[in-house]
Structures are given as structure tokens and as C-alpha cells.
Amino acid sequence: MNEYPLTPIDPMGLPASVEFLIFFKTLGFVLHMIPMNIWYIGVLLSTICISFGKGHFRTVGIRLISVMPILLALGINFGILPLLFTQVLFYPQYYTAGILIAVPWFSVIVLLLFAYYGVYLYAHQVKKGSITLLGYGTGWMSSVIFLIIGFMFTNNFSLMTNPTEWMNIFSRTTIAGAVSGIALNLGDPTLFPRYLLMIGIAITTTAVWIVVDARFSRVQQSTDYCKYVNKFSSTLYTIGLIWMFGSGSWYILGALSDQIFNQAMQTSWVKIIFGLAGFSAIVPWLWLIVKSNFESPSSVWVIVCLQLIVIVSNAISRQWVQIAEIERFMPLSRDPVNWQWSPLIVFLVLFISSLFVIAWMVRRIVKLPPQRTTPV
């Protein structure tokens, strides 16, 4: 188990139990995944719709891009929590993997800055109704950058659990024992299926978001547009579902190690979660087809909940696999636990209080009379 260069145990110990940290890491990841999935495919879809579409097809693009600045801000913020808990739990893996691919990993920040401002400029021009060549350019640029950033993330997080590849990258890029950081985890068989699986989930989540937006948007949508959206979302979800099955099968059957797979199949709750992650997307897909018009708000809430099951089950199974893969070379029980009770309690109290404050603010704006504008 100790054949890999693994950072010694931190003298502070873990500030809370492994279970607590994993719970918050997964919760934070789910919160991050929702907006991230929508912008990941949403910006690209919006650019396609606006660049090549007319009528309602174009309207879908306009509606999508209008919320992107807010979703980006929330998604980036939600990403902080899982990143924090990743660093506490998996510091030997997270820092090592990042440093080995330091140049592309560092470039994420620069790329994100361009993509974010690109989205703002594009959304601004779309809102004004006059999109210049620069506007289209930034839309496409941001779309491509988000796809690249996703690829970088998959690289780092797959490298974290693959110490054999650490050694390969280190040997290839070393300069007198230091590393140049110019590398990617391309030798990892799980890299591409994992990346594609994330895209598949993002497609399905974006499809659900389009329905939600059409039904709950404060801007009054025409009935005709809502009908169009239902058909559009069903088609988009179908594409996402096929994509998920394709990449998921590749990942589970062709890339994931037999040892991990067998381990998963020996634990009943993991089997259930794996099953949900693999097949739960069929239910919202069927709901989209059966409920071809989402007239009642409750039918929209149903599909939101169903999609949430898809996201949560994928997040939990992903977390389980990450732990199983890491435990092959470093037991999580390695670090002692020194509970930091009082800051933990203050954090929890603040976390819950902030939800009340946010709920209060949102209630104030929900109570406002709808802003009637020309249907888009």
C-alpha cells in the first residue's frame, strides 16, 4: 500500500469525522452540479440556437443565456464547499495531482475569466437584441472554454485516484526532481468515459431546466412557446439519455477496474445507488414524454425531483468510487480525527441561518407582481 510517494499524515488531524466531511463534500458537489450542468451545456446550446435558429428554437437560446450570469455566479460559489472538503480529506491526492498537471490546471482560472466575461457580453447583446460578430464570437468562445474546463477537471479528479499515472507523469516531466507541470492524465482509461458521462448528465439537466424556465419564468411565455419547449426538451433529454447510457456503459464495463466494480456489487446499498445512477434518468425521460404539456406546476416539480434523483445518485456513486479507488493505496482511517466542535457548530448555524436569509430575500422578490414584457 505504501509503494507510492504519499504525503505524511498532517499533524492537525481531520477536523471532523470522515463521514461528516464526505457528507458535506457530496452535498456541496450536488449544489454545484445543478447550475454547473446547466451552464456547461446551456451556453453551447444557446449559442447554437441563436446562431442558427429562428422562432421558438432561437427563443430557447435567448431564455437560456439570460440566466447564465446568475447561474455562473452561484455555480462557482457552490464549487467552493466541495473543494474545501476535498482538500481536507484527500490532501495527499488533490495537491499532488494538481501539481503534476499544474500548467493546464492553473489555466482553468484564466480560461474561466474569459468565459465568464464572454457570457456577460453575449447575454448583454442578446438582451439588447443586437448581436454583433464579437457577441457571437464570445458566445462560441465561452462554450468551447467551458468544455475545456470540464476536461481539465476530469483530468485532475481522475488523476487523484490513479497514483500509477502520478509516477508516469513525474518521470516524463521531471526537471531534477521537480516537475514542469506540463501534462494531462491522458493515459487514464477512465478519463474520457467520465468526461462524456458528465456531459450526458448536463444535457439531461439542461433539458429539464428549459421546461422549468418556460413554466415558472416571471416573463410571460406564450402557450405556443411552452408547447414547443416540451417537444424540444423531450428530444434533448433523449439525446442526453442515449449519451449517458453510451458513456456510462463505457465507464462501467470498459474502464472501471474489475476490483472496484466487484466491490460495489457486494454491497447492497451501493448496488442500489449504482442502479439509480445508471437507470434513474429513464423516469424523467418518460415523464417528459407522457406529460407532453406541463400545465400544472406540480407536474414540473415532479420532473425537477426526478432529475434531482439522477444528479444525487450520480454524485453519491461517484463519491463511493472515489473513496474505493483511493482506499486501494491510502486508507481513509489513516488520519486521526480531532473534532473542532465549536467552529463546526458556528459554521452549521451560519449555514442554516443563511438559508433562512436567502429564503427571506427570495420570498420578497417572488411576492412582486410579474413583470409583463413582450413574449420573447
Partner 1 sequence: MHYPWWYVPIINAPMLIAIVATLHVWVAFYAVGGGMILAYETSIAHRENNINYLEYLHSHTHFFVLITIVYGAITGVGIWWTIALASPLATQTLIHIFIFGWGMEYVFFLLEIVSAFIFYYYWNRLDPRTHTMIGWIYGISAWISLVIITGITAFQLNSGGWELSDGFWTALFNPQTIPQIIARTGGSLLLASLYIYLHASITLKNEPERRNHLIHRSVRWVMSGTILIVIGGILWFIYLPEQGKAALEAASALNVMAALVTAGTLLMIVMTYFGPYKNPGWVTPGFAIILFLGGLANVTTGEFIREAVRKPYIIDNLVLGHQIFKAQIPQLQQSGYLDGGVWTRHYVKSVAPEITTSGGNVDSKLFANLNSEQRITLGKTLFMYHCNNCHASERGVSSLTSLTRGWTDEMIKMSIVQMDKFHYFMPPWSGTEEEAGLLREYLSSITLPSPTHKENNSDRIQQVIK
- 366 scored as a contact of partner 1 (CB under 8 A): no
Gap between the Cα atoms of 3 and 330, Å rounded: 10
Asked if residue 370 binds partner 1 (CB under 8 A), the reply is no
Q: Which helix (H) or strand (E) holds 360?
A: helix 341-366
Q: CA 373 → CA 59, 138, 220, distances in Å? A: 14, 27, 7
Q: Which residue has the cell 482560472?
A: 109
Which listed residue (1, 117, 289, 297) binds partner 1 by CB under 8 A? 117
Nearer to partner 1, 12 or 305 (CB): 12
Please tell me whether residue 91 binds partner 1 under the rule CB under 8 A. yes
- The burial class, CB within 10 Å (0-12 / 13-18 / 19+), for 282 is middle
Nearer to partner 1, 176 or 290 (CB): 176
Near partner 1 by CB under 8 A: residue from 84, 196, 255, 308: 84
Q: Which residue has the cell 484527500?
A: 90
Q: How far is the CB of 371 from partner 1 (least distance, A)?
A: 7
d(CA 227, CA 214): 10
Give the separation between CA 351 and CA 342, rounded to whole angstroms: 14
Report the SS3 class of residue 131: coil
Q: Cβ of 358: how many Cβ atoms within 10 Å? A: 10
**Residue 361 within binding range of partner 1, rule CB under 8 A:** yes
| Site track 315-354 with partner 1 (rule: CB under 8 A), x = hit | -------------------------x-xxx-xx--xx--x
**By CB under 8 A, residue 108 contacts partner 1:** yes
Among 1, 17, 52, 80, binds partner 1 (CB under 8 A): 80
Residue 48 class from Cβ within 10 Å (0-12 exposed, 13-18 middle, 19+ buried)? middle
Query: Site for partner 1 (CB under 8 A): which residue of 87, 168, 238, 299?
Result: 87
Member of 268, 368, 372, 373 binding partner 1 (CB under 8 A): 368
Among 1, 70, 253, 305, interactor with partner 1 by CB under 8 A:
70
Name residues whose C-beta falls within 8 Å of residue 195's C-beta, 6 or more positions apart in sequence: 150, 151, 154
Residue 16 contacts residue 342 (beta carbons within 8 Å): no
Closest approach, Cβ 312 to partner 1, in A, equals 20
Min separation Cβ 338 and partner 1, Å: 8
> What is the Rg, in whole angstroms, of the alpha carbon atoms belonging to the chain?
22
Instruction: Tell me how long the chain is.
Output: 376
What is the pairing mode between strands 178-179 and 174-175?
A: antiparallel
Asked if 27 is part of the footprint of partner 1 (rule: CB under 8 A), the reply reads no
Which of 129, 176, 333, 373 is close enough to bind partner 1 by CB under 8 A?
Answer: 176
Which one of the spans 141-149, 242-250, 259-267, 363-371 is the region binding partner 1 (CB under 8 A)?
Answer: 363-371
- From the list 197, 273, 212, 274, the residue with the least C-alpha distance to 242 is 197
**Binding flag, residue 7, partner 1 (CB under 8 A):** yes
DSSP 5: -
The DSSP secondary structure of 171-188, one letter per residue, reads HHHEETTEE------TT-
Which of 26, 96, 155, 158 is in the footprint of partner 1 by CB under 8 A?
96
**Residue 9 interacts with partner 1 (CB under 8 A): yes or no:** no
267 near partner 1, judged by CB under 8 A = no
Nearest residue (CB) to partner 1, 218 versus 271: 218
Residue 295: is it exposed, middle or buried by C-beta count within 10 angstroms (0-12/13-18/19+)? exposed
Under the binding rule (CB under 8 A), the answer on residue 220 touching partner 1 is no
Summarize as ranges the residues that interact with partner 1 (CB under 8 A).
Answer: 5-8, 10-15, 69-70, 73-74, 76-81, 83-85, 87-88, 91, 94-96, 98-100, 102, 105-106, 108-109, 112-113, 116-117, 120, 167, 170-171, 174-181, 340, 342-344, 346-347, 350-351, 354, 357-358, 361-362, 364-365, 368, 371
